[in-house]
Chain A
Amino acid sequence: MADFTLQGSKVLAVRMGGDSVKAKNGAMVAYDGQMAFKRLSGGGEGIRGMVTRRLAGESMTMMEVKGTGTCYFADRASEINLVQLGGEKLWVEASNLLCTDGGLRTGTAFTGLRGASQGNGLFTTTLEGAGTAAIMSDGPAVVLRVAPGMPLTVDPGAYVAHTGNLTQQFQSGVNFRTVIGEGGGEAFQIRFEGDGLVYVQPSERNTIGGDV
């Protein structure tokens, strides 16, 4: 299995011995040894996945990197976080996904109104299986624990990913102040309940909620 290590916080080194990883298109910065790069159409889920992705608008251009040696990945100086998956499922925005083990299954999940408020569309990417995934965040991400009876509310623009058995609920704090243009900039939030982990970045994407 490919060996993921971080070189500093912004460069990911993946050591491979003939196996493959999936990575964001064009994210390779350097490698030694022998490597081959191949674009995966439709995120590498076959024809069905490709159609689903097109319909979902969750565009994810990934490439398959295969070979022996060490490959270094980085993207626009984003901070990288490694997530170890042991059979559970990770929900992550396609734009925040840098690299995954070749053995992890990718899929598309419906997020509803939450996705729209994040400025990321109505769908999100899921990863399932055993292996490592590298996710990117703008600034070092904080991992927040959600436990039963301890729900967590996050800003849709700062949400990066989550794992575990969580239910998410979209809530809005729109009131008359927002309507007259005097909102606090926190009109929408996502509330997580259940048991799991949420990755939050110290920066906010441009969202509809952040403007009002």
Chain B
Amino acid sequence: MPFTQVNSKVVQAKIQAGQRLYSQRGAMLAYSGAVSFTPDLAGGQGGIGGMIGRRVANEATPLMTVEGDGTVMFGHGGHHIEVIELSGETLYVEADRLLAFDGQLRQGTMFMGQQGGVMGMVRGQVTGQGLFTTTLAGNGAAAVMAHGGVLALPVTPQSPVHVDPQAYVAHRGELQNKLTTALGWREMVGRGSGEGFQLELTGSGTVYVQASEEKL
């Protein structure tokens, strides 16, 4: 797999001729070898159709294609980076949290309403993630950014996990997510515990949580 962690905030990718990586535009820190960076106007895979889809979905983070033969270091904004290896599963992540990913992964856009209907859309609004999210499927690795490090929590059918929507980073596997509210009279009179909304993840997979309630 091409990504190796240099330290908690810098990730190194080894790239060989014929391989391709996508990364957030401007996230390259240093490189050695013959590597070329091309701004990817389409913002990823899928040609014009995929591009329009992402524009409409507001998941169009400027990407660049990295090709050639050498090693490249990536980092952005001093955020902690977590390398997530995928072997056939699907990773759901916000486009602006995605630092770099293997060109072999299939990139897609998912409408939140597909999971949880109306509540799924409310969920997107509450978490500030919008109505769409990016999916990556296949075999390969992705580097995901988070504020203050990432905690990976396993979810099994017996033990669902509840996550603060602001601390949610990404998830993978066969997970259903649902926005649950615990709003009571205390929230109505402005004396809430600050935990009025939670994401409930059920199924089997992994959820990634950051050590902070800040958005990137």
Contact = CB atoms under 8 A, between A and B. Distances in A.
A26 B153 CA distance: 19
B35 to A, nearest CB: 32
Contacts, number: 90
Interface string B119-157: 000000000000000000000000000011101010000
B164 A63 contact: no
B211 A38 contact: no
A30 B186 contact: no
Contact of B149 (A8, A27, A61, A64): A8
A209 to B, nearest CB: 28
A72 interface: yes
Interface of A: 7-8, 10-11, 25-33, 35-39, 41, 61, 63-64, 72, 74-77
Contacts of B164: 26, 28-30
Given A37-B193, A39-B193, A30 B209 contact: yes
B160 A32 contact: yes
Interface of B: 147-149, 151, 153, 159-164, 167, 182, 186, 191-195, 207, 209-214
B193 A26 contact: yes
Contacts of B148: 10, 74, 76-77
Given A28-B195, A32-B161, 10 more contacts: A11-B151, A30-B163, A37-B194, A39-B191, A41-B191, A63-B194, A63-B195, A76-B147, A77-B148, A77-B211
A76 B146 CA distance: 11
Contacts of B191: 39, 41
A166 B160 CA distance: 46
8 contacts: A11-B151, A28-B195, A37-B193, A37-B195, A39-B191, A64-B193, A76-B213, A77-B212
Contacts of B163: 29-30
Contact of B193 (A11, A32, A38): A38
Given A11-B211, A38-B186, A72 B151 contact: yes
B193 A74 contact: no
Contact of B162 (A7, A27, A31, A41): A31
